[in-house]
Structure 1
Amino acid sequence: MTDWHTEVTYFQGTAMTDTTATQDKARAILKQLQKRLGTVVQTSPEVLRLVTISLLCRGHLLIEDAPGVGKTTLARALSQALALNMKRIQCTPDLMPSDITGISVYNSEEHKFHFMPGPVFANILLADEINRATPRTQSALLEAMAEGTVTCDRKTYPLPDPFMVIATQNPVEYSGTFPLPEAQLDRFFMRISMGYPDARQEVAMMMAQLNGHPLSALEALLSEATVKVLQKQITKVQVSEPVATYISELVRATREREGVRLGASPRGSLALMQAARAAAFLQGSEYVDPEMVRSLLEPVLGHRLVFRDNTLNYPENRRSFWDSLLASVPVPDYPGDLEPGFD
């Protein structure tokens, strides 16, 4: 029995104690998860780290990149490794809202309507090419992503727990697409881009698929119960009041920049704080370091901003913007030397 299997088995019990050993085992499991994802998709460790952070924070993930770089494969690999109920929808202009949420069907024998759940009733919903769906259909996901429920015929139905939307879209193809509105983008916890693999990764990808796709050999690592326990671990990470103030000032600064038409919302502040807690947990830290906050600005806040300069709509062009923003906000002292103000 491998070490990782022993650690996963340890998490299957219900009587979990908040010990250092427990958190170390949790980090070992998450490291194994990233390793397994890396055998299927050739991408950077940073991308896999951000995917893990989204999972820990129960956040929805938008993967935006050029065709053929493995966006859908990464989403499927995560679903398969988690042993959760996953449903996939291919977004097209003729996709209807009821095709996602479900529909009430009349039963002539009972003389009443019965609700038939749609694919959104899953632990992980993969929405492939989400910007090919019409705005009406895109809006069907708003309630599900924000509240974890679906309302049909004045009745509200809870979604499974955990629930996560992983959506993909191609940012360079505009024919037949409908850009996501700001309200929809704001509900995504992170937006990431995988980028093209380097020469070594591309060769490794080709060699790995000589005898079939590695996704077919990917075994489930984490059960639903294990995922829930892992997600609770980030609540142990402390956020000092000065660091919380630093996060608030960074987000507020996005609303005051001259080149920004729409800054990040308060939901962005909460997402940045939670992402920083997850990053701290993965590093084995009990406190959120300001540097952890700084490193997450682009994936957590980038898609929540609307710029006056259209060239800044592309992540690769925003480096100077973030540098300028960070330079305008004073950095607090290291949080380990401060009294935690938030749990």
Structure 2
Amino acid sequence: MKIAQQKMLYTGVALVLVMAAYFGWLRVTNYFYYQEVPEHWQVMPLPELQSPTVLRAVYVENPRFKSLTDSQINKILDRTTELVSQHLFAEVKFERKADLSVQTLFDVLPYVAKKNQSEKIIFIDDKKNELDSFNKIRNSISLQIQNSASSEQSQIDYAGPYLIEKKEIKNLDGLTAELSKTLIHRHQFWMQQLANDGKPVLDGSSYNQWIYWDALGYGKLPYDVIITNQLVASIEENGMPVHTCLRGGINGGNTTYSKLGLLGGFVFVSAFQMMNNNELLAMLREDETYSEQQIIDYTAATVTHELGHLLFHYAHPFNAQSCIMNPTPLLHYRQWYEQLDVGACQLLNSPMQQPGAARITYNTKW
């Protein structure tokens, strides 16, 4: 009996020591990887706006892809000024800076941010870990939906018509499963496409990874608005938005933190999916090609959408088709643009379009 009691005592002591060592390891790990600790994430405060609000704009080019002309860029900025006044009731003025290459832009990405972000990229070409990748994608989508200001049901309703498999989605679990299938299926297209130089569109560089664009503001980024011809299409763990999943990982624009941003953040918009033509883009757009005026209008409207996030921290009123803050379904830019109606949007009085509705966060340790 005493031997049994001694064994139990020793086992208990060993268990306590193991648990102490484990929690000690967690503390050490969290110390050295401080950027992952939740308390180091803060919400960007709403900016104090001037009239007009002056924004530094730049065009960033990847020579591997079809590019915007100097005239088109100026017309996009002029049209954006009009749309911001019309839809956001704000006055903005752009100071256009000298164009630069995407390589030069990415030189500002600080090491600590890039290292942390690189660990969140999901690669779907590893056949041995397909199930693991699939589950990571589902978790990423779930994280985004649960942290979104928009309701779960509104996002289910928004996604339903555009999934590759037409099924009735009843809950978050069903939505993440079908969105993951759609995202993987459509993203695989880009892995097989070639750019103008005959090399793969996704060439192993960092330039197509949204997660790196999202971290540029932690470096010395002297711009508030970036327009680019670079395709941004990727999959990552830290929250995949519903509309991005439906497009196969294509991100048409983003608003995020910038330590040198005049308003505390910066926006980028990609015109790649408007200027280029192929089978997937034609399907996602419901249009084979766009005219020059369409490219100008739709790019400007997308910049305006992002400025709604930057200027007022508006969120997404999913399915509010009259509102410019409603994300473009797939890449239906023509349909999205033609349905915009300022008066009808105002009547909705959506809580998603109240200042501060979107919580734009940043890491204080990067």
Name the TM-score class by shorter chain: under 0.3
Q: Which has the larger radius of gyration?
A: 2
Give the alignment's TM-score, normalised by structure 1. Answer: 0.23
Give the alignment's TM-score, normalised by structure 2. Answer: 0.22
- Specify which structure has the higher proportion of strand: 1
